[in-house]
Structure 1
């Protein structure tokens, strides 16, 4: 039985710290996995699923590290203070911590939703990717997030012109309030520019999407993105898994089949 994770604060630049959870397997790890959470409230809705998946992977022999990015969860700073480059620096910080704890093992970067966009960079080293319902475009991710404010204002008839107003505020370097989160311009611009495109030395990609339909297929947009990864030399295996989109449900939901498929994919 895998023990409780090691919960600790990882020192970061400027005297800050990042909350981390390390799930150690019994024996020599088959791989080391870094989990990168989704954006804003999707992170909180996904915590239970992420925790269960981390434990399942550790039970299957994988070392897993979770990190709360700058301004998120119990890490230092406010959400409005964070930038995309801050989050990229956190990824490097977490990779270094994993290297120190697990020197000899292949590295997987596991991104859920917008977390996948964060993994798709050239890290100057071999990595594999585990994508859970990846967002293909940061521009689309930002628009979807800003639409949350539109939806909340629509009932009062105050949504007209609001999207352009928010974009103008962000372009001017000012933060905007959306669904209880104060989004800064540096994070918004970095997210908007992000793309789920292959970079660095080719490795493996496990691409898992959820659907509540029994005979669902990948969307043409996903298929096109996967083909770009394959054309760049990556070995990509894509699967549709039965389950609900837990990151967006009103109540905390689980997708057990996704965890089982993930363990099988990495093992």
Structure 2
């Protein structure tokens, strides 16, 4: 039986801390994974799925580390005071902590969900494989979608006219904006906007998993183009669409068991 995860706070710069959960397998780990959560409220909606997947991976022999990025979950600081560079530094912290927990040459994976993939797609100075769950290929699009939450909230009052331009003007001036209960700072917005899901660093493996409620679903042309860019850069990419809801955005907490099964099989 797999024990409960080890919950601990990882020291960070300035006396801050990052909440981490380490899921240890029984025996020698087949691989080690660092999980990078999605953006804002999508993180909260995805916690149950992430927890179930971590347990399933640990039961299959993989070591998994979850980390709450700066200003997220139970980690130090406020979301509005966090920047993209802070989150990049947190990934490095997580990788160091994972190395300490799992020494040796077990294959390393960055497992990311949605906008977490934009953070994962960087050169980390070492061989890293990628497990993408429904990755977003454009940070600019991710930011626009997040800002549209404000527009949707204001439409009923008729105050949405010109609001998108106002939000962008505020961010460009270095001032934070309030979106769906989150204070979004300029440093985080600009970093997200500039991020792209493009290959970087030494080529390895990519397991690209997407969800759909349609049985005949296929990858979008944008996704196909992104996959090709990784393949052209020398990465071995496998794509799969599995049945399930977009649990990161549903009104109620939902699960996609087929995604967990496909994930374990992909890494096996």
TM-score interval (norm. to shorter)? over 0.9
2:69 maps to what in 1? 69
Q: Which residue of structure 1 lines up, in the alignment, with residue 83 of structure 2?
A: 83
Aligned to 2:118: 117
TM-score by length of 1: 1.00
- Secondary structure in 2 aligned to 1:46? helix
- In the other structure, the counterpart of 2:177 is 176
**2:237 is aligned with 1:239:** no
Q: Which residue is equivalent to 2:20? A: 20
Matches within 5 A, 1:209-228: 209-228=210-229
Cα displacement (A) at 1:246: 0.1
| Match runs of 1:89-104 below 5 Å | 89-104=89-104
1:76-113 deviation line (CA, Å, top 9, x unaligned): 00000100000000000000000011112111000100
The alpha-carbon deviation at position 215 of structure 1 amounts to: 1.2
Structure 2 residue ranges without an equivalent (≥5): none
Match of 1:132 in 2: 133
RMSD: 0.3
In 1, the alpha carbon distance for the partners of 2:32 and 2:86 equals 22
User: Residue 194 in 1 paired to residue 195 in 2?
Assistant: yes
Displacement over 3 Å in runs of 4+: none
> Does 1:229 find its partner at 2:230?
yes
* Offset at residue 154 of structure 1 (A): 0.3
Distance 1:215 1:260 in 2: 19
User: 1:119 and 1:183 mapped to 2: Cα distance?
Assistant: 20
Structure 2 counterpart of 1:37 = 37
Aligned mates of 2:135, 2:159 — CA distance in 1: 32
Distance 1:70 1:81 in 2: 9
Gaps of 5+ in 1: none
Give a deviation string over 1:6-42, Cα, whole Å, max 9, x none: 0000000000000000000000000000000000000
